[in-house]
Chain A
Amino acid sequence: MHDPRHPDGRVRHPDRLHRLSGMFDDVIPDPAQRLVEPSRPSGRELRAQADSTPALRIRGLWKRFGDKVAVAGIDLDVPAGSFYGLVGPNGAGKTTTLSMATGLLRPDAGSLSILGTDVWADPTEAKRLVGVLSDGIALFDRLSGEQLVTYHGLLNGMDRATVAGRTRDLLELLDMTDAGGKLVVDYSAGMTKKIALATALIHAPRLLVLDEPFESVDPVSAANIRDILHGYVESGGTVIVSSHAMDLVQRMCERVAIIAGGRVLAAGTVDEVRSGSPLEDRFVELVGGRHHSRGPAWLRTS
């Protein structure tokens, strides 16, 4: 499902940075009141209101590293209140795109806005709205799990009581209460992912950007995390997940975009994108590179 507004090879000016801030007036509740205050508009209401303003809006995004173009003109709209999957082969530009969307990497060209706030014109406001779990980013792992989550809370400028309460809630939510006193450096890979998720949630963001959140997480924890994320979307939040696990994305997400070679190959609801066949088959069909071989003869044991 090619995006018609994005013909291949269209030249973009490197200095094009749109300013969208102030164009949309979205009512943002004080982050300190969410997660603890259950009294807020229902998810459906919020979703109806948010339909006009995408949670993440990407236009003409470019990024090159040396002579390698990592992202070659991506346009993408992630509607508010959706559970959005971003899939693509290794090196497709998923992590680069998400880094730019969360203000961690400056784009060469293009505009990004989170709930109407231009990420690179007003990074402070944009970052307040977004929670990030990055792949391949170190944590301050000489802190205990509880200290790490507390640290992230305090860095976000929250007061001590709120931080303590939310840290307790999050550790409970992620079944990490017992591990909270252990140093993060001693965690298993799955536990590290979970504590990183907790640090992304502590400031109650409106948009969650999760890069490979289920990698090396055990099935039970993964199911628990999925429930949490679904609950979060139900209440009006938006989740963007990048993953290699097609089954998971097909089951979990409402919408999906397939990215390869720094471009969007297809985007839309999961049913639109997969058009009848399983998402995995559609993905392989679009991305290519599949070969049919049963391996060399010497590898067959019988």
Chain B
Amino acid sequence: MVAHLLTLRLLVLRNTVTRSPWQLVAVIVGAVYGLGILLLVFVGLLALSFAPARLTHTIVVLAGSATILGWIIVPLLTSGIDQTLSVAKLKIFPIPPTRLVVALMICGLLGIPGAVTLLAGIFTAASWWQHPLVAGSAVVMAVVAALTCVSGSRMIESLNTGLSKHRRYREISGIILLVPLLLLGPLITAFSRGLANAAATLPVLADALGWSPLGASWSVPATVQSGHPALALAKAGIALATLAVVVLVWRRSLGTALVTTTQPVTKTVARGAIGLFARFPATPAGAVAARCLTYWARDPRYSRQLILIPIFPILLYVNSRTTHLDGLVSASGPIVAVLVSLSIFTDLSYDSTAFAAHLSARVTGLADRAGRVAAVSSFAVPIVVGITIGSVAVSGSWSSLPVLLGLSLGILLSGLGLSSVSSSRIVLPVPSPGDSPFAAKTGAGFTTALTTFATWGILVVLALPELLLAIASGATGSSLLGWITLVVGLGLGAVLLATGIRLGGRRLDRDGPELLTRLRVQR
């Protein structure tokens, strides 16, 4: 049973790798990266053996607790760490739940993330190599912790399967969870400023975590070493009890999940309510704009990107307060302009083969491009202008408003023009419609990252004139240069946007069928 599931897993991995050489490259890069991290962890932990025991304890407990927490959070963000062996797919086989639990646990431990966690955990023994008994306890507790990671992740996954009957809930829950995670950095900075300093608080935090389910197993070796065997036994008890409870809950929810099918709950709108289609002009371009805007609201793959918009100004604000660099806030407008305008840089990939509708209905490339740009502009222009004005209000330097507006709007317009061209050429493996927006396709990360960075680079070049003018204006404090930046930003941006729409549209007119073929392959 265990062997079968394990073989299945490895087969799936092999088949994805052999599908294209690029995926093989991506997997190899990933493996080298993972091995590098493991090596660093090992060296670091070995070095800790020469450090005071208290420091080792603090670092291991904090890192270990974060690892367990990470394993538990990931299934809420994606559809699970390991989708090959999802409960939904194994449901049809006559496997008793208990055996399935054991099999999944071992498979999870031998999968790549599981193996890395287990090895990194076992490496903590290296910090105690001078004390064989302590090192031994570290190895045992590392296995317990790794099992807790795998089981905890699986437990959350199967609990979540039961909860997520509502498609909307499923799609949004991950996104909502992302917000506090992204803001974690500033939150910690803000909180720790109240405390005297971080160096004093971290050991205390580690001591507290050592008695919690997250950190108990990681805390055992140091407690043994400090000569408190009773306390160490108590902590080991907490760790084992945690594992037992997690496995039991998992076993129970798995039992339920195996005999339940999720019934989608749907919402119906009244007849004749065609939403945005009634608001936009009744032309092909208007229809495309209405459709895109509807997708921005309904498709989590788009709406996820909207969440980033408020987060960046907040991050910049908090950082400018802690670092006392007031200028940081001013970067909000331009950064949001970059993010929003390039959010559609591979729009066709998101359409997937549904793009055939545009092809069949002989929508001109121009109308297609213009509609997509209009949809984004309808909210991007007010947001970018609003954020720019807001950032100026916060920093109080109203004289810099023309510069910043010129820069932000210049970047926004140029970026939309660039997206119009790039999305008529680039087809990337993006999450399919209906997938979790975080469900990256295996091996897609590498090409996607490369293309994204290339696009950002091109945008910097396109916006170079207003960027240089803005820098010059900032350096000289000249208000004339500021107004020139505004004019150049708007003018050059408009020209680039029009050119982008025309070039992208022409490309679409010429190569529509070929693009559809590439989109088909992607599916």
Q: B375 contacts the other chain (Cβ, under 8 Å)?
A: no
A142 touches B357 (CB 8 A): no
Q: List A133-184 residues whose CB lies under 8 Å from chain B.
A: 134, 136-144, 146-147, 150-152, 154-157, 159-160, 163-164, 177-183
Q: Are A160 and B282 in contact (CB under 8 A)?
A: yes
A183, B272: Cβ atoms closer than 8 Å: no
Q: Does B501 sit within 8 A of A, measured CB to CB?
A: no
The total of Cβ contacts below 8 Å across the A-B interface reads: 123
Judge whether A104 and B284 touch: CB under 8 Å: no
Residues on the A chain within 8 Å of B354, using CB: 137-141
Known: A105-B513, A124-B362, A183-B266. A134 touches B274 (CB 8 A): no
**B362–A128 touching, CB < 8 Å:** yes
Mark out the residues of chain B between 359 and 380 whose CB falls within 8 Å of any chain A CB in the assembled complex: 359-363
Q: Is A186 an interface residue (CB 8 A)?
A: yes
A48 interface residue (CB < 8 Å to B): no
* Contact of A89 with B by CB under 8 A: no
A132 at the interface (CB under 8 A from B): yes
* Residues of A with C-beta under 8 A to B357: 139-140, 151-152, 155, 199
A152 vs B275: C-alpha distance in the bound complex, in angstroms?
15
Cα A157 to Cα B516 in complex, Å, equals 21
6 A-B pairs (CB sep. < 8 Å): A138-B352, A141-B354, A151-B277, A151-B290, A178-B268, A186-B264
Give min CB distance, A99 to chain B, whole Å: 9
Chain A residues positioned under 8 Å from B351 (CB to CB) = 138, 140
Interface residues of A in 84-112 (CB under 8 A from B): 102-106
Do residues A127 and B294 form an inter-chain contact, with CB atoms below 8 A? no
Beta-carbon contact of A137 and B356 below 8 Å: yes
Task: Check: A223 CB closer than 8 A to any chain B CB.
Answer: no
Expressed in whole angstroms, the Cα–Cα distance for A151 and B284 within the complex equals 8
Alpha-carbon distance between A123 and B512 when the two chains are bound, in angstroms: 11
Q: How far is the CA of A271 from the CA of B360 in the complex (A)?
A: 34
A192 to chain B, nearest CB (A): 12
Query: At the interface, yes or no: A185 with Cβ under 8 Å from chain B?
Result: yes
Taking the complex as formed, is B287 at the interface, i.e. its CB lies under 8 A from any CB of chain A?
A: yes
Q: Does B286 contact A (CB under 8 A)?
A: yes
Shortest distance from the beta carbon of A301 to any chain B beta carbon, whole Å = 17
Q: List residues of chain B with CB within 8 A of the CB of A147.
A: 274-275, 277, 294
Q: In the bound complex, what is the Cα–Cα distance between A199 and B275 (angstroms)?
A: 18
Q: Which of A106, A139, A142, A180 has the most CB of B within 10 A?
A: A142
Asked whether B227 is an interface residue with its Cβ less than 8 Å from the other chain, the reply is no
Complexed CA–CA distance, A164 and B268 (Å):
19
Contacting A at CB under 8 A, from B412-445, are: 433-434
Output the least CB separation between A125 and chain B (Å).
Answer: 9
B4 within 8 A of A: no
Which residues in A have some Cβ–Cβ distance to B below 8 Å? 102-106, 123-124, 127-128, 130, 132, 134, 136-144, 146-147, 150-152, 154-157, 159-160, 163-164, 177-183, 185-186, 199, 203
Q: Are B167 and A185 in contact (CB under 8 A)?
A: yes
Residue pair A186, B167 in contact (C-beta under 8 Å): yes
- A106 touches which one: B271, B514, B520 (CB < 8 A)? B514
Contact B353 A137 (CB under 8 A): yes
B214 part of interface (Cβ distance < 8 Å) = no
Which of chain A's residues has its CB closest to B359's CB?
Answer: A104
Q: B271 and A154: CB pair below 8 A?
A: no
What are the residues of chain B within 8 A of A163 when measuring CB–CB? 282
* Distance in Å: Cβ of B353 to nearest Cβ of chain A: 5
Question: Is B288 within 8 A of A106, CB to CB?
Answer: no
Whether a CB of chain A sits under 8 angstroms from the CB of B517 is yes
Given contacts A103-B360, A151-B291, are A182 and B513 in contact (CB under 8 A)? no
B522 to chain A, nearest CB (A): 11
Interface centre among B268, B273, B288 (most CB of A within 10 A): B268
- By the criterion CB–CB under 8 Å, are B282 and A155 in contact? no
B291 adjacent to A143 (CB under 8 Å): yes
Give, as a whole number of angstroms, the nearest-CB distance from B390 to chain A: 31
Instruction: For B361, give its contact among A177, A182, A203 (CB under 8 Å).
Output: A203
> Which 6 residue pairs are nearest across A and B when measured between Cβ atoms?
A154-B287, A155-B361, A160-B282, A181-B269, A186-B266, A138-B354
Whether a CB of chain A sits under 8 angstroms from the CB of B299 is: yes
CB pair B358–A155 under 8 Å, yes or no, is yes
Query: Does B228 have its Cβ within 8 Å of any Cβ on chain A?
Result: no
Complex contacts, B434 vs chain A, CB 8 Å: 141, 185
Known A155-B361, A160-B282; contact A106-B299, beta-carbon cutoff 8 A: no
Interface centre among B286, B291, B352 (most CB of A within 10 A): B291
Q: B284 touches which one: A128, A132, A141, A154 (CB < 8 A)?
A: A154
Distance in Å: Cβ of B354 to nearest Cβ of chain A: 4
Q: Does B283 have its Cβ within 8 Å of any Cβ on chain A? A: yes
Whether a CB of chain A sits under 8 angstroms from the CB of B446 is no
Could you list 5 further interchain pairs (A-B, Cβ under 8 angstroms) beyond the known A146-B272, A150-B277?
A128-B362, A155-B284, A156-B362, A180-B271, A186-B167
Residue of B nearest to A106 (CB): B513
Contact residues, B496-523 vs A (CB, 8 A): 513-514, 516-517, 520, 523
Are B286 and A181 in contact, with the CB atoms below 8 A? Answer: no
Which residues of chain A have C-beta atoms less than 8 A from B167's C-beta? 185-186
Decide if B356 touches A142 in the complex (CB within 8 Å): no
Interface membership of B295, Cβ < 8 A: yes
With contact pairs A106-B514, A137-B356 given, residues A127 and B361 touching in the complex (Cβ less than 8 Å): yes
State in angstroms the CA–CA spacing of A269 and B517 once bound together.
33
Cβ-defined contact, B360 with A102, below 8 A: yes
Contact indicator A154/B282 (Cβ below 8 Å): yes
